[in-house]
Amino acid sequence: MKKPLTPALTLIVLIIACANYAQAQETKLQWLGHAAFSITTPNGKALLIDPWLRNPMNPDAKDGKDPLASISKVNYILLTHGHRDHVGETIEIAKKTGAFLVANPELAGNLVKLTDFPAKQAQDYIMQMGGEIQIADGEVTIAMTEAVHSSSVFNPKAGPNEPERAYGGSPAGFVIMIRNGPTIYHTGDTAYFKDMEVIGESYSIDVALMNISQMGVKLSVRAAQSLRTKLVVPMHFGTFPGLLQSADGFATEIKKLNIGFYEMKPRETVMFRGKQMIKNK
Ligand SMILES: [Zn+2]
């Protein structure tokens, strides 16, 4: 016969159950430098966005270290467009982890055709701008949004009869809606466009990962207003010459408004409980 739990033991079991529940409800967002972010959902699914992990801002890529060494679990790779500073190590990571690609059909097709990206991982989650798909057993809904930029796939087979760049379809951004977690907008490499207001109206954005170099300070501030985002995290600055070298000017301007601002450090992880940022570590 099973012994009934004593009141003290029952309390301990309840405390452990509550702690596990709280842990399970947390979403992790990590910046890996440049436009690369990883998101871990409350159910433990791992998403990578624009994984150029060997970018010079990533501490894991310094002093001869290989940032891919610590990558073991990735379920989905989201690509905003085909430029090298966004595709990064997508192919190596996909082969290592079996991650599925979330991208437009032209970019996905040419990655399979021109590189050795595994074809089976580039078919189930292919999408177009304006569309929404569900991934992670319905825990995450992704919307692909407009981006004013260009896109092409660098062709490793380039030569006299092969072009240096292949078609990459239209560049994009992503709105990532996480069940029991925040709604995160990654702008991709877009310039400012006024229809960011429509994105803000359509989705209640908790965090905007914002390319401040592509928009510049003035229009990045306007973008934050158009999006009606609760929190802005700057990205895509300081990586190489030609970009904004810091987020300081943007920080000064955005702090004058009633919009949350948080500058992550490369490799830093911030946590969300529900839609609320609770801590960083
Ligand atoms: Zn870029």
Handedness of CA 212, 216, 82, 140 (dihedral sign): positive
The answer, yes or no, to whether residue 202 has pLDDT greater than 70, is: yes
**pLDDT by residue (tens digit) across 155-165?**
888 999 988 99
Distance 215 CA to ligand 1 centre (A): 12
Distance 20 CA to ligand 1 centre (A): 38
**pLDDT by residue (tens digit) across 109-141?**
999 999 999 999 999 999 999 999 999 999 999
Distance 46 CA to ligand 1 centre (A): 22
Distance 236 CA to ligand 1 centre (A): 7
Give the pLDDT band of residue 267 (cuts 50, 70, 90): very high
Helix or strand run (H / E) with residue 22: helix 7-24
DSSP output for 228-278 = T-SEEEEES-SSSTTS-S-SHHHHHHHTTTT-EE--PPTT-EEEEETTEEE
Strands in the chain per DSSP E: 26-31, 37-40, 46-49, 76-78, 100-102, 132-135, 140-146, 152-154, 165-167, 172-178, 183-186, 207-211, 231-235, 260-261, 269-273, 276-280
Distance 8 CA to ligand 1 centre (A): 56
Distance 274 CA to ligand 1 centre (A): 30
Distance 21 CA to ligand 1 centre (A): 38
Give the whole-number percent of the chain exceeding pLDDT 90.
86
Distance 74 CA to ligand 1 centre (A): 22
Distance 59 CA to ligand 1 centre (A): 19
pLDDT at 176: 98
Distance 192 CA to ligand 1 centre (A): 14
**pLDDT by residue (tens digit) across 136-183?**
999 999 999 999 999 999 988 899 998 899 999 999 999 999 999 999
State pTM to two decimals: 0.91
CA distances from 126 to 4, 78, 99, 103, 148 (A): 53, 10, 13, 5, 20
Q: How far apart are CA 193 and CA 189, in angstroms?
A: 12
Give the whole-number percent of the chain exceeding pLDDT 70.
92
Distance 122 CA to ligand 1 centre (A): 22
Distance 85 CA to ligand 1 centre (A): 5
In the block, residue with structure tokens 């990532």 = 176
Backbone angles phi, psi at 153, to 5 degrees: -105, 125
Ligand 1 (ion): which residues have CB within 5 A? 85, 189
In the block, residue with structure tokens 């991650």 = 99
Distance 53 CA to ligand 1 centre (A): 13
- Identify the three-state secondary structure at position 48: strand
